[in-house]
């Protein structure tokens, strides 16, 4: 009698310090991505290949506080056993926060309703040795009021082509940016962006554009005009990867 | 006419991630110490050697939130100029927080009235990728009440020979341990020790001993007996360097 394979569906939440990786997504020419490292380990644990879907594809050098992933597997191991193995063998800069069985149709990216990214600016000449890999050091004075006014222009549903690095995108560039909170915590300035989805480099280009607004190099009207233009050249610089962290995914 | 050299006295406050250094103090066989790195840079900046005195000699792998140092120099440069150079050329894991002129008799170690060290225990199976280098991962359950009762026995002025790794110490091992605070912050357990001075490895041995108390492997009476014995073998294990951070020095 043939054994019936029952593929279970899993929700795995990872965190990582992205400093030494070439981003989340598997690439042909390197195994130095978070997806590749984790899939290789899952294959060792489960005895069969497993394909991970991540809620967001973080770029090289970007971190994740909570990267929610899903995968299917046919195994007799319990979630606790798999999680223990992941924790034992993942490199020290990738952590497995939780693992649970998910409903059959759950998919980390497709089911995701809303995501948040945090962009951290270390806005001081003073050193921050302990968090140096997780912040973008930008010591010049920033006018938070001007940044908030500029951010207002980006809220809501728009075509964000001007805030995307991928020039040959064929799919829709319409996204709903639900909130941008800009808060100072001591010497640090935190930008928390929440939306239904983000284009390639979108958070980093928004961060760069808001920094330019905070410097007085552009005003809210110029940010609105950049958005309207759908021209990448009209938006601000792409802020460095290391200040960015995938903060949360909601389902 | 001979120029009169006026040696000014300086107070420099550093912070560092000690992970890749062989501790604070200069050693004959390596220049990979925080003191050696900083002195070499000061010599380049000032054009003359300068000898740094640090308020505490941290071991290999130990961090400092505030390591107060003093040095003398004869220079026309302002504190702001020297500080700017230090910030520009120090490695990214050593930071210069502040520099000011100090009274002639100020000495970072000899003038120090009180120091605090923080020992951070990551008391969870869950990963902490972002602070992994600054905490000691110890997931087993710890009874904080038992740790606090054991800590009580160590407070006040005692001969701490049992809590010192240096077997051939000729100077007095009497220190006044003024407070030990033990607080849980989420998955982390923080031990903050304040005293007039600390022997070699003293904080790490106290941390190890209190962990043993938290595990139920020893009680307050056994800690008191270890202290009384002046025998290193009677105290607990030396907790790892990476959980330790020189927190503050008071003058």
Q: Which residues of A are catalytic?
A: 59
**DSSP track, A90-138:** S-TTEEEEEEEE--TT--TTTT--EEEEEEEEE-SSS--STTTTTSEE-
Question: Given an 8 Å threshold on Cβ–Cβ distance, is B16 in contact with A63?
Answer: no
Distance of CA A217 to the CA centre of its chain: 27
**Which pLDDT does position B113 carry in this prediction?**
96
Question: Given an 8 Å threshold on Cβ–Cβ distance, is A17 in contact with B129?
Answer: yes
**Which pLDDT does position A103 carry in this prediction?**
96
B212 touches chain A (CB under 8 A): no
> In angstroms, rounded to a whole number, what is the distance separating the alpha carbons of residues B156 and B174?
10
Question: Given an 8 Å threshold on Cβ–Cβ distance, is B15 in contact with A92?
Answer: no
Q: What is the mean pLDDT of residues A198-227?
A: 97
Q: pLDDT for A89-134, tens place per residue?
A: 999 999 999 999 999 999 999 999 999 999 999 999 999 999 999 9
**Which pLDDT does position A30 carry in this prediction?**
80
Which of A95, A128, A131 has its CB closest to that of B127? A95
Please check the confidence at residue A206 and state whether its pLDDT lies above 80.
yes
**Which pLDDT does position B109 carry in this prediction?**
95
Which of A95, A128, A132 has its CB closest to that of B129? A95
Q: Which of B130, B134, B187 should one mutate to test binding to chain A, selecting the residue with the greatest count of A CBs within 10 A?
A: B130
Question: Given an 8 Å threshold on Cβ–Cβ distance, is A15 in contact with B87?
Answer: no
Contact yes or no for B220/B143 (Cβ under 8 A): no
B190 touches chain A (CB under 8 A): no
Please report which confidence band the pLDDT of residue A152 belongs to, taking 50, 70 and 90 as the band edges.
Answer: very high
Residue A211 contacts by C-beta under 8 Å, 6 or more apart in sequence? Answer: A121, A138, A142, A147, A236, A237, A239
**Which pLDDT does position B193 carry in this prediction?**
98
DSSP secondary-structure letter at B46? H
Q: Looking at per-residue confidence, does A25 or B4 come out higher?
A: A25
Rounded to two decimals, the pTM is: 0.93
Contact yes or no for A112/A249 (Cβ under 8 A): yes
As given in the structure block, the two tokens for residue B124 are: 């969870």
Q: The dihedral of CA A79, A81, A83, A89: what is its sign?
A: negative
Q: The dihedral of CA B156, B157, B160, B166: what is its sign?
A: positive
Please report which confidence band the pLDDT of residue A28 belongs to, taking 50, 70 and 90 as the band edges.
Answer: confident
**DSSP track, B69-94:** EEEEE--S--HHHHHHHHHHHS-TTE
**Which pLDDT does position B4 carry in this prediction?**
67
> In angstroms, rounded to a whole number, what is the distance separating the alpha carbons of residues B82 and B183?
39
Chain B residues in contact with A15 (beta carbon < 8 A): 127, 129-130
**Which pLDDT does position B3 carry in this prediction?**
64
CA neighbor of B238 nearest in space, from B199, B193, B208: B208
The predicted complex's ipTM stands at 0.91
**Which pLDDT does position B2 carry in this prediction?**
62
Please check the confidence at residue A170 and state whether its pLDDT lies above 80.
no
B132 touches chain A (CB under 8 A): yes
Chain B residues in contact with A90 (beta carbon < 8 A): 127
Average pLDDT, chain A: 95
Measured from the Cβ of residue B97, the count of other Cβ atoms closer than 10 Å reads 19
Residue A182 contacts by C-beta under 8 Å, 6 or more apart in sequence? Answer: A144, A147, A148, A151, A189, A190, A191, A210
> In angstroms, rounded to a whole number, what is the distance separating the alpha carbons of residues A204 and A246?
12
> In angstroms, rounded to a whole number, what is the distance separating the alpha carbons of residues A241 and A64?
12
Bridge partner list, A15: A95
Q: Checking DSSP bridges between strand A114-122 and strand A136-137, what pairing results, if any?
A: parallel
Chain A nearest-CA residue for B135: A130
> In angstroms, rounded to a whole number, what is the distance separating the alpha carbons of residues A92 and A19?
12
**Which pLDDT does position A140 carry in this prediction?**
97
Please check the confidence at residue A167 and state whether its pLDDT lies above 90.
no
A–B: how many Cβ contacts below 8 A?
A: 52
> In angstroms, rounded to a whole number, what is the distance separating the alpha carbons of residues A138 and A151?
19
B97 touches chain A (CB under 8 A): yes
> In angstroms, rounded to a whole number, what is the distance separating the alpha carbons of residues B229 and B233?
9
**Which pLDDT does position A6 carry in this prediction?**
78
How close A186 gets to chain B, by Cα (Å)? 15
Strand ranges (E), chain B? 8-16, 53-54, 63-73, 94-101, 114-122, 136-137, 156-159, 174-185, 188-195, 244-250
Chain B nearest-CA residue for A84: B125
Q: Is B104 helix (H, G, I), strand (E, B) or coil?
A: coil
Q: Which of A130, A134, A186, A244 should one mutate to test binding to chain B, selecting the residue with the greatest count of B CBs within 10 A?
A: A130
Per-residue pLDDT of chain B (251 residues; tens, 9 = 90+): 566 667 999 999 999 999 999 999 998 878 899 999 999 999 999 999 999 999 999 999 999 999 999 999 999 999 999 999 999 999 999 999 999 999 999 999 999 999 999 999 999 999 999 999 999 999 999 999 999 999 999 999 999 999 998 777 778 999 999 999 999 999 999 999 999 999 999 999 999 999 999 999 999 999 999 999 999 999 999 999 999 999 999 99
B168 touches chain A (CB under 8 A): no
């Amino acid at each position: 009698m043939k054994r019936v394979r029952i593929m279970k569906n899993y929700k795995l939440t990872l965190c990582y310090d992205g400093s030494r990786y070439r981003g989340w997504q598997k690439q042909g020419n390197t195994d130095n991505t978070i997806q590749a490292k984790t899939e290789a380990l899952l294959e060792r644990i489960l005895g069969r290949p497993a394909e991970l879907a991540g809620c967001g594809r973080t770029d090289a050098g970007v971190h994740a506080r909570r990267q929610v992933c899903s995968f299917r597997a046919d195994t007799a191991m319990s979630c606790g056993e798999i999680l223990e193995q992941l924790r034992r063998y993942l490199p020290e800069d990738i952590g497995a926060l939780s693992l649970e069985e998910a409903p059959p149709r759950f998919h980390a990216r497709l089911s995701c309703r809303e995501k948040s990214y945090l962009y951290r600016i270390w806005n001081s000449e003073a050193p921050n040795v302990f968090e140096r890999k997780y912040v973008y050091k930008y010591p010049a004075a920033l006018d938070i009021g001007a940044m908030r006014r500029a951010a207002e222009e980006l809220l809501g549903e728009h075509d964000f082509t001007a805030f995307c690095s991928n020039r040959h995108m064929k799919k829709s560039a319409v996204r709903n940016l639900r909130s941008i909170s800009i808060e100072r915590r001591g010497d640090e300035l935190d930008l928390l962006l929440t939306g239904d989805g983000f284009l390639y480099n979108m958070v980093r280009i928004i961060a760069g554009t808001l920094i330019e607004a905070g410097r007085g190099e552009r005003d809210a009207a110029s940010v609105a005009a950049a958005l309207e233009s759908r021209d990448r050249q009209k938006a601000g610089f792409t802020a460095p990867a290391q200040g960015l962290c995938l903060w949360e995914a909601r389902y």
